[in-house]
Amino acid sequence: MTGAGRQRLPQMEPAQRLIEELEKEWTEQQTILRRWREDGVKFDLERPEKLDIRAISLVPELFQPRDGISEKHVADLTKAIKNVGELDPLTVIVVGRRTILIDGHHRVEAYGRAKWGREVAVRYFDGSPSAAVLAASEANSAVKLPMESRERQNRAWKLVLIGRYSKPEIARAAGVSERQVANMRSVVKQLGDEAFAHSKSWFRARNAAKGGYQNMDEAEASVWQDELAQRYADGMAKMFSTKMADNPQVAAMALEKYFGRRLPEVWRELRDFVDVREIELEDAAEEAAVEAEEFRIGAVAKPIKTPGPDEASRRDEF
């Protein structure tokens, strides 16, 4: 399946070296099993439905298609574990004596943070490690946590550098066009060994092929800014988790202290990301609701004056 379009690269990228080692070990394992079947040897592959997380190996260089762990998603999953219990099964592949995680890195992280002490459900992938890399990419393209365009591009670039997959396979697994994959292969040829210095970022590799950041056009500069902003956001998420998002007022105070006199500049930039009119309408609606509630409480609390006997008789005279 992965032979078509195989590319010879100038050196071994770390992920490529890992997949070569796993493929070799898995192929030897399959050869032994095939011989046993041919010789009529009875054997039973141990595949328990649940495993201790500590028995599962992580190889994020191959099977974590995203640019990193989403702190918010991990926080949400951690809450779900504490409130509901076990999450969906992890997907693993058995290679030799190792059971390697293919899909479920956020769930594993969440189990650790929730101090989950029991075994977790797993499902087994029956294909080769090369096929498992594609399966991991396809699984992460699902709607459960959509990959951003930047992440899809970077994943496709990683698969190109591995050098084992055809254009259609990479395009389908990463969610990019075959034309984009062809462009990436052209950059590999142009950069040679230097391509591996930019293995984590397709954008950086592309700009290196163009001669550097000084040659960026407006669209490319926008992508660069987005990538830099995401890096900063990831750093904040690792440090604060969801604390800032859960406390907007405290977050605003922290930003005021950090930016100081330059805070107005930040506010002007933020206006491009916020619908100010919508906020004003929400504030007006909230203020009206508060006033209505205060009026209702005042009306209920106001004493009702009942007429005395003299007042009643005077009204009767009229």
Domain definitions of the chain by residue range: 14-234, 242-270
Write the class of the CATH domain 14-234.
Answer: alpha beta
Spatial separation of the C-alpha atoms in residues 296 and 131, rounded to whole Å: 66
Q: What pairs with residue 92 in β-bridges?
A: 101, 124
Spatial separation of the C-alpha atoms in residues 234 and 222, rounded to whole Å: 18
Q: State the sign of the Cα–Cα–Cα–Cα dihedral 299, 303, 304, 305.
A: negative
| Listed residue (162, 145, 120) closest to 23, CA to CA | 162
| Listed residue (111, 110, 8) closest to 51, CA to CA | 111
Give the strand pairing for 120-124 and 90-95: parallel
State the first-to-last Cα distance of the chain, in angstroms, to the nearest integer. 103
pLDDT per residue as tens, the chain (318 positions): 444 444 444 444 677 788 889 999 999 989 988 888 888 887 777 888 999 999 999 988 888 766 667 777 888 888 888 888 888 899 999 998 899 999 888 899 999 999 998 899 999 998 999 999 988 887 765 534 555 677 788 888 989 998 889 999 998 888 888 888 999 999 999 888 888 888 878 888 888 887 765 555 656 666 667 767 777 777 777 777 777 778 888 888 888 888 888 888 887 777 777 665 666 666 677 777 777 777 667 665 555 555 555 555 554 544
Does the pTM surpass 0.85? The reply is no
Q: Are 77 and 87 within 8 A, CB to CB?
A: yes
The letter for the amino acid at 98 is R
Running DSSP on this structure, what letter comes out for residue 5? T
Q: Are 100 and 59 within 8 A, CB to CB?
A: yes
Give the DSSP letter string of 259-306.
HGGGHHHHHHHHTTTS-HHHHHHHHHHHHHHHHHHHHHHHHHHSPPPP
The letter for the amino acid at 247 is N
